A and B are shown apart, each in its own frame.
Chain A
Amino acid sequence: DAGVIQSPRHEVTEMGQEVTLRCKPISGHNSLFWYRQTMMRGLELLIYFNNNVPIDDSGMPEDRFSAKMPNASFSTLKIQPSEPRDSAVYFCASSLISQTNTEAFFGQGTRLTVV
C-alpha cells in the first residue's frame, strides 16, 4: 500500500481564495483525521471521521473550514475564504480502529501558505 496520500504537497494562494486539500486514506481503514501543525500551536486535531461520518469537528477553527468524506477512499478539507493565519502544514491520517489497534498512519502533509 502506498500509505496515506495527500495532495498537493505545497500550496501557495492569495488571501480570500478558496483552498482545497485532498487525502486518500489507506485502503481498508475506517477512520480519517485532519490535523493542522503550526509552530505556535503544535499539532491540532481539526476533524475526525469514522466510516465516512464526521464524529468530532470541535477542532475546526471556524466556519471558513469544512471537510467532507464522500466515500471511504477520499476526503477533502476546504478553506473558503483563506486568510494568512491559515498558513500551516495540514496532515491527514487514517487508522483501522479496532479492539487492538488504534495506530494512525500519517500522510506527508500539505504545506499551505496564504499571502
Chain B
Amino acid sequence: AQSVTQLGSHVSVSEGALVLLRCNYSSSVPPYLFWYVQYPNQGLQLLLKYTTGATLVKGINGFEAEFKKSETSFHLTKPSAHMSDAAEYFCAVSASHNFGNEKLTFGTGTRLTIIP
C-alpha cells in the first residue's frame, strides 16, 4: 500500500520569501514521487518528479524537491515566491513498479497563498 501526507492544507508566504510545502510518503517499495500544481478551474500540471538517480530534482517555475529516504519525505521548495505561484499543490506517489499496473496516489493538497 502507498500513501501521501501533506502537512498544512493552507500555506501563506510573502512575495519574495521562501516557499516550503511538506510531503511525506509511505511505500513498501522504492517510490516514484511527483509534485503537481493546479490553478483555479484547471487540471493538474506536473511540476517535477523523482524516479531514480539524483535525489534533488528541479522542475518548472523555479521549484525543486529533494527525496530523503531516511525521512520518507519529498518537500517542495522555491527560494523566492512569486504572485503567480498562488495555486494548489499536490504531492503524489506511485509505488507499484509492475508496469501495466501503475497508479498515482495523491495527497490532500496544499493551497499556497502569496501575500503582496
Same assembly: yes
A-to-B contact residues, CB < 8 Å: 4, 31, 33, 35, 42-43, 45, 48, 50-51, 55-56, 91, 93, 95, 97-100, 102-109
For the complex, give the distance between the alpha carbons of A105 and B43 in Å: 9
Which range contains the number of B residues in contact with the other chain? 20 to 34
For the complex, give the distance between the alpha carbons of A51 and B100 in Å: 8
Q: Say what secondary structure dominates the interface of chain B.
A: loop
Shortest distance from the beta carbon of A75 to any chain B beta carbon, whole Å: 15
10 shortest interchain CB distances as A-B pairs = A106-B43, A43-B106, A42-B108, A106-B44, A108-B43, A50-B100, A48-B103, A97-B102, A107-B43, A102-B102
Q: Say what secondary structure dominates the interface of chain A.
A: strand
Kindly state whether residue B82 has any CB partner on chain A within 8 Å. Answer: no
For the complex, give the distance between the alpha carbons of A108 and B34 in Å: 19
For the complex, give the distance between the alpha carbons of A115 and B15 in Å: 41
A-facing residues in B1-46 (Cβ within 8 Å)? 32, 34, 36, 41-46
Residue of chain A at shortest CB distance from B36: A106
B-to-A contact residues, CB < 8 Å: 32, 34, 36, 41-46, 49, 51, 90, 94, 99-109
CB <8 Å contact, A106 and B99: no
Shortest distance from the beta carbon of A23 to any chain B beta carbon, whole Å: 11
Interface centre among B43, B44, B46 (most CB of A within 10 A): B43
Shortest distance from the beta carbon of A109 to any chain B beta carbon, whole Å: 6
**Residues of B contacting A91 with CB < 8 Å?**
43-44
Interface centre among A56, A91, A106 (most CB of B within 10 A): A106
Given contacts A45-B105, A102-B51, A106-B44, 8 further A-B contacts (CB under 8 A): A43-B109, A50-B100, A50-B102, A55-B101, A102-B94, A104-B44, A104-B104, A105-B46
**Residues of B contacting A109 with CB < 8 Å?**
42-43
CB <8 Å contact, A98 and B99: yes
For the complex, give the distance between the alpha carbons of A104 and B46 in Å: 8
Shortest distance from the beta carbon of B104 to any chain A beta carbon, whole Å: 6
